[in-house]
Structure 1
Amino acid sequence: MDTRFLDASGREVRLGDVVPKARPTLLTLVYYNCPMLCNLVLNAQVQSMKELGLELGKDYEAVTVSIDPDDTPAQSLERRRRHLQSMGKPETAPWHFLTGTDAEIRRLADALGFKYTYDESTKQYAHAAVVHVLTPEGSISRYLYGTTFPPSDMKLALLEAANGRVGTSFDQIILSCFKYDTASRRYGFYIFGFIRLGGIAVFCALATMLIYFWRRELKKGAAA
């Protein structure tokens, strides 16, 4: 999180300062001249963010870093405007698009385990399609791979990363009933979580009944 980049206004920023320690973050590494894959990832991310039921800047943050050291803040600004407009958000909404030097980009990519290479023959970068979900402390909580991100998966990943600091009580209940499957790279129904939740519900129901009958017996005794 000590890596330094330029934001869309050309101002140097420290990544750790861009990402507040109160919310989880969606972090993507792309490059602006990418002919297809990066656009698919960002467009899918936008679509999912629109349907999360969580508020950007309040419940979570979004940061996109270019892996191409030749990309510029002007390109960051254009990309930022385009994607925020697609979300129906104002240009001031906190989705940070950053560019930087090759050394700083490599430092960040290595920390994330993000592999990429430049192909001289095609003048393109080969890289994975992934959204990194970070905890409020900046640790990696989850990798969301692919070019489609179901809103339910993205929301569960953010709730999981936030560790109770984001979402409603009902969201936390839902989270306890789902678990990430590394094979399918999707969240699936977690039977043991459901059983545990059901056990708690049964216990609460029994406790309520016992209290009710106990109070009724006390009233009978007082009346006698």
Structure 2
Amino acid sequence: MAGVEAVPPPNGSLPLSLLVQGEKDIKPLREWLGATPSVWVLADYTCKSLCGSTISIVAEALKNSGLKPGADFRFVVVGLDPKDSVADALTMKHEQIGSDGELVRNSHFLRTNAAAIRELTNAFGFHFRYDSEHDQFAHPLAAFVVTPDGRVVRGLSALALDAASLRLALVDAGRGQVGSVADHIGLICYGFDPVSGTYTLAVGRLLAGTALMTIIGLAALILVLLRREHVAPSR
């Protein structure tokens, strides 16, 4: 297990020209990103232990995030084992996500060769070990949030993942294009803890968020009073 970890490099970005195969098409990585933030998981499609559970946990958090698949995000899984087939990937997808629905239609289970897998996992800061004797992979249980232009902005602990943290990470990666005003205020109050891989409430951020909401409230009140004064009948 030495060296098995997920530590995204600062300002890291994915190799956008890397060729990756989906259910039918082989396309450069940039075309799998689309125009929305995306959540990525690296898994072994024939794993019989925790890979399926990791995908299921992330998928459930996405379902409960309140965000819309396709419009606000897409979900991408990449196979760690170059020997896995399209059938292996589809089996994992259907077992852990289902066979229909918006999340299924906006989830892509990809495969590529060994060299490309290494290049991609290095870009994520995802370090794993292959046990050839048992044909198994020792790897971190992590989910990554990526911007539409391929920058890795968050590495989240898959086992500690919850819908609220995943929503905040996607709002953060959306750069103003995803989420509500309340979400963006929430980002002021919550800070990302790289040790736990989750968003946590920070007192300083909370005070800043409260102050911002107070200013917005006062500005709205002043605007209402000015309008009332403007329309008040003269005597």
TM-score tier (shorter): 0.7 to 0.9
In structure 2, C-alpha distance between the alignment counterparts of 1:50 and 1:170, rounded to whole Å: 19
Partner of 1:56: 69
The answer on 1:8 being equivalent to 2:23 is yes
- Structure 1 stretches of 4+ with a deviation exceeding 6 A read 217-220
Partner of 2:123: 111
Q: Give the TM-score, by structure 1 length.
A: 0.86
Q: Structure 1 pair 219/147, CA: closer, same or farther in 2 (3 Å)?
A: closer
Unaligned stretches of 5+ in structure 1? none
SS for the counterpart of 2:184 is helix
- Counterpart of 1:196 (choices 200, 204, 208) is 208
What one-letter code is carried by the residue in structure 1 that aligns with 2:137?
A: Y
Report 1 or 2 for greater relative contact order, CA contacts < 8 Å, sequence distance ≥ 6: 2
- Counterpart of 1:38 (choices 45, 48, 51) is 51
The answer on 1:134 being equivalent to 2:149 is no
In structure 2, C-alpha distance between the alignment counterparts of 1:56 and 1:203, rounded to whole Å: 34
Question: 1:7 touches 1:76 (CA, 8 Å); kept in 2?
Answer: no
Question: 1:24 touches 1:161 (CA, 8 Å); kept in 2?
Answer: yes
In structure 1, C-alpha distance between the alignment counterparts of 2:102 and 2:225, rounded to whole Å: 53
Question: Which deviates more, 95-104 or 162-171?
Answer: 162-171
Between the aligned residues of both structures, percent identity stands at 27
Q: Any residues of structure 2 matched to 1:112-191 within 5 Å, and which?
A: 112-191=124-203
What one-letter code is carried by the residue in structure 2 that aligns with 1:191?
A: V
Question: 2:69 touches 2:103 (CA, 8 Å); kept in 1?
Answer: no
**What value does the CA root-mean-square deviation take over the aligned residues?**
2.6
Question: 2:190 touches 2:200 (CA, 8 Å); kept in 1?
Answer: yes
| 1:123 to partner: Cα distance | 1.7
Q: Structure 1 pair 34/190, CA: closer, same or farther in 2 (3 Å)?
A: same
| 1:179 to partner: Cα distance | 0.9
Q: Give the TM-score, by structure 2 length.
A: 0.83
Question: 1:41 touches 1:148 (CA, 8 Å); kept in 2?
Answer: no
In structure 2, C-alpha distance between the alignment counterparts of 1:49 and 1:94, rounded to whole Å: 11
| 1:210 to partner: Cα distance | 8.6
Question: 2:76 touches 2:108 (CA, 8 Å); kept in 1?
Answer: yes
Question: 2:129 touches 2:138 (CA, 8 Å); kept in 1?
Answer: yes
Please identify the structure whose Cα radius of gyration is greater. 1
